[in-house]
Structure 1
Amino acid sequence: MAFKTDVSFLEKISIGATGTRRVFEDLKRLGHRPVELERGSMSFKIWKEIKIKRVRVPDVLCVGCGRRVESRAKTKLLVTMSHSVVSPERGWDFGLDDGDMVAFVKCSKIGTEPVDWAASGFVQYVSAKPLRAAVVDKKVFWEKPKGTEEGFEARITWPSAVASCAGEVVEVGKERLKLKRRGDGRLISLALEKKGIRLKPLVKAGDVFVEDQILASVVPVSTSFDCGKGMEARDYVRMIRSASLSDRYGAAKALSFFKGADIHGALVKKTGDARDHIYIRLEAAASLLKMGFSDSVDFFKSVLADEYLENRLECVIILGEICSDVSCRLLIEVLLDKAQHSEIRAGAAWALGELKNKVALDALVSVFDDIDLGVRSESARALFRLSGLFGKEIIKYFPKGSEDVRAGISWALSKSGNFSVKDLLSVMADDGARKWVAWVVGTQKQEKLVAEIEDLKDKDKEVYFAVTVLWKILSSWVGNLEIY
């Protein structure tokens, strides 16, 4: 991980998050009750200074049936996974039980930025048990580590025949699949053997298939699996006492979806268990707060003052998932506490943006005068996310704000576009404010505000002129021209 360049790492994170989000939605479509199990598996956020070593668990848990799903997004659809030859904790199946599922989904580039990826709507599932069996039976291919760019990870591939286009199965022979391509009806074939390893057909004659569907493999592949909805609160109460760390972790998170006095007691007990892993205790504390109980507030405060920055940051991120005034107030305290590490404060700003609570506006705006650029930057991004809901309220901070405060507000408003020209007319109290208003309006699409721009012309011809110049430049052919 440490060897990957920032852009390469962000792109890999984005592909993974995009794929996991698609798998999450597919599980809902199939009737499951999915929750994100591995924190951050659906997020594009990267924390650069403080590295968090989380509990290694699959990405998603179905609360209803207890099945866990590891998402594997691929730019080329293959049944393949990375495998560390150095650390057992980065082995392909570390943390996977035999009953867990691995979901494969293709992701495609849709833009120029590292985060510009879209996932196919077609998700395919493989159970961990046959994947392990194929490794034992030596029905897999191994590739050696590629070097420092990929962090010394090997690659293991389960041989499969994957459709390169949509079509229909014509014949399933002993040696090959005969297929008819959709559109032009061209006949194509796929071999049922790769490097001496036999593949088992997963289709029959007459079946219709889609692009990237796995048609034959050394492991069973399906597009769904049933949710038996057999898990109840008592099962998770029992699991939270399990010797398995991953079971306790999943149970602590799942119990917030149930009700009962025994659940409350189990979560309180686990939160106070100083012998257990801090992240399991945090999940139990989070479940209590999500359920409306205040028993865990003091524990959260203690972790926010923990000697280890990693634990503080994880606590901040968790609070950003709990939509309550209590979590919002705790995060505001962290953001405004200049004795805290700068990335912890920046994390609190980010988390407040996730909560989208109006109560956070004062704090977010106030730190634009902070000396730390990272804190200001995350506060601006958070304000951007809130401006979609509270644009008018944010504009009210503009008149009395310093130059840095106005800069942060202007950036957030410009990115969200949630304002009217009329709203901005009342805050042009001085030349500094007039310049920022010109920039905010001028960075919007002209057609969006063309009906309102006459109000600005009547109010302030100089600002109106500045806006029209910006529109002229930004809409010209050089407006988005890059030097590379």
Structure 2
Amino acid sequence: MGFKVDSSFLRYLTMGARGTRQVIAELEGLGFEPIELERYCTSNKIWATKVKRLRLPDLICVKTGLKVEVRAKSALTIKMSDAPANPDRVWDAGAEDEDVVAFIACRNGPGGPFPADHAAYFDIGSLRRSARKSILGPAKSASEGAERDRTWPSTVPKRSGTVLSVTRDKLLVQMEEPARKQSFNVAGRNVYVAAGDRFEAGMTFLAGVPDRMADLSPHLARRYDPVKGLRSARAVDRYAAAKAVRFRPEREQAALPLLERALKSEREARVALEVAGTATALGLAAGQGRIADFLWSDDAADLSMEAILILTEIGGDFAREQLAQLAADPDFEGDERRQAAIWGLGKAGVKAYHDLLPYLNDADENVAFHAIAAFGHDTPRPIVQRLVRALSNGEPSLAPAASEALRVIGGRKVLEVLVKAIEQSGSDFAWGMATLGRLEPKLVREGLRGSPLLAQLEPMLLMAHGANWLTAEDAVVNFAFLLKQDLYAPVN
């Protein structure tokens, strides 16, 4: 069960995902067309099954070929993970000088970490040239070959302000709140700002040991050809090309013969799986057969899991068929891949909400959790009606599951279907009333204005999800955690 972990790990994943999404938005604003290269880098969904992927940058621009690694940090630093004893896991393994690292600061907010508006970009070449000035931290674990943090010294202001003047050794700035002048010693560092520049507290690099920050504009003149990439001798380039082809429709026909050939000849399993996913998305029957081989294989559970994630990503009838088949297969009972298949059938993937209904009260609690959470706001009305009917089904485990699914879906559609059912059954429709009282209070109050039902629901709305500070999501989790710390009296 991948999501039963501490909240600090989820916060870390959320910070990375939101930071990457912000970098994507910024790159798009500059004229790039970035996509995920490292699958799930924009997601905070946790799976226990670890996929042994190639060492990849997070993003690739399908127009220019620019590859970008994203590092979201609560404290802005030029820091990379390094494993000096493992050539495959050193900080710049497989990277080219023109590849870029985006460092973006994140701050805590009521809804979790939120990123700065802009990232700071450094190319790999500048980091390599200054690597001898970087500092290697202690091992993160006791295991042999454990990763360590490699940090390039830099200057980041604690308060916002404006640069007044720059000399070789000193940076003079006008700080805000309170307004006063301050100088920074930048001896031995390269300055990245000029007089008149404004900077934000904790969000801006003023100086650092890398010789320069990256200028992304020259990359916009480049043109990336994924078809050429499919012929590369480098596995990382073939992988990137296989994924990028899906987003370059004008190159699909030229890529098809190479994809068909790679389905038979590619020896790097992770590249072969990505080729199969793209071939499937482009309608090649041979691609469907190859990805099914990975999906149903007993030899490599991690690649089978990756096949599920790829089918979730590409969608379509074949993906739905395979995911539904795996979810129903008794051989996968107790296997996290079943949870992933059900997740893929929902809002994160093919949105086959009808296929989720049989799993709402599955004997495997983790499967039921995923089925409930997989419903989206776009769930069709007929499925909402079936969920409302399930509230009076009589099965003690189904009614609460259907109620929670309806709360997750939310919105006016759920409100209308519930109200109609209550009007037909009377206010003694207990699960209907309870579910109505769990919807967003503002929605219920506006939708039921003038209805006698509203007065009956008001006490429940006071404790609805998010209705007060103790029912806010973070408060519920934190308070439940506190209450579990119940062994406090000394043993006499």
1:255 aligned residue: 245
Structure 2 unmatched ranges of 5 or more = 483-492
Change (3 A) 1:269 1:127: same
Change (3 A) 1:355 1:373: same
CA shift at 1:36, angstroms?
0.4
2:402 aligned residue: 409
> Quick check: 1:366 aligned with 2:358?
yes
1:24 aligned residue: 24
Code of the aligned partner of 1:80: K
Question: How far does the alpha carbon of each residue in 1:314-345 deviate from its partner, in whole angstroms, 9 at most, with x for none?
Answer: 10111111132322222122222222253111
> Quick check: 1:242 aligned with 2:241?
no
Q: What are the equivalent positions in structure 2 for 1:56-455 lying under 5 Å apart? A: 56-84=55-83, 87-111=86-110, 116-135=112-131, 138-145=132-139, 147=141, 152-182=146-176, 185-193=179-187, 198-211=188-201, 212-219=203-210, 220-222=212-214, 224-233=216-225, 236-256=226-246, 257-258=248-249, 259-273=251-265, 275-307=266-298, 308-341=300-333, 342-354=335-347, 357=350, 360-383=352-375, 385=376, 387-399=377-389, 401=393, 402-418=395-411, 419-427=413-421, 434-453=429-448
Change (3 A) 1:10 1:432: farther
Change (3 A) 1:148 1:404: farther
State the distance in 2 between where 1:241 and 1:284 align: 12
State the distance in 2 between where 1:451 and 1:239 align: 56
2:12 aligned residue: 12
Change (3 A) 1:139 1:420: closer
1:272 aligned counterpart, secondary structure: helix
Q: What TM-score comes out, normalization by structure 2 length?
A: 0.84
Change (3 A) 1:266 1:29: same
Change (3 A) 1:433 1:279: farther
2:102 aligned counterpart, secondary structure: strand
Partners of 1:176 and 1:191 within 8 A in 2:
yes
State the distance in 1 between where 2:362 and 2:283 align: 33
Code of the aligned partner of 1:284: V
State the distance in 1 between where 2:113 and 2:428 align: 38
Code of the aligned partner of 1:129: G
Code of the aligned partner of 2:121: Y
State the distance in 1 between where 2:356 and 2:62 align: 35
State the distance in 2 between where 1:433 and 1:241 align: 68
Partners of 1:237 and 1:263 within 8 A in 2:
yes
CA shift at 1:104, angstroms?
0.5
Change (3 A) 1:216 1:472: closer
State the distance in 2 between where 1:34 and 1:479 align: 38
Partners of 1:160 and 1:216 within 8 A in 2:
yes
State the distance in 1 between where 2:415 and 2:80 align: 52
Code of the aligned partner of 1:448: L
State the distance in 1 between where 2:349 and 2:150 align: 42
State the distance in 2 between where 1:179 and 1:110 align: 28
Change (3 A) 1:29 1:421: closer
Question: How far does the alpha carbon of each residue in 1:14-47 deviate from its partner, in whole angstroms, 9 at most, with x for none?
Answer: 2211211111111111111111001111110111
In the alignment of these two chains, the number of paired residues is 460
Code of the aligned partner of 1:446: P
State the distance in 1 between where 2:446 and 2:168 align: 69
State the distance in 1 between where 2:81 and 2:29 align: 28
Bigger drift between 331-340 and 285-294 goes to 285-294
4+ long deviations beyond 6 Å: 429-433
State the distance in 2 between where 1:399 and 1:432 align: 15
CA shift at 1:55, angstroms?
1.3
Change (3 A) 1:261 1:415: closer
CA shift at 1:479, angstroms?
5.3
CA shift at 1:126, angstroms?
0.3
1:71 aligned counterpart, secondary structure: strand
Change (3 A) 1:47 1:421: closer
State the distance in 1 between where 2:171 and 2:406 align: 57
CA shift at 1:204, angstroms?
2.7
Structure 1 unmatched ranges of 5 or more = none
CA shift at 1:417, angstroms?
1.6
State the distance in 1 between where 2:328 and 2:428 align: 26
State the distance in 2 between where 1:343 and 1:252 align: 27
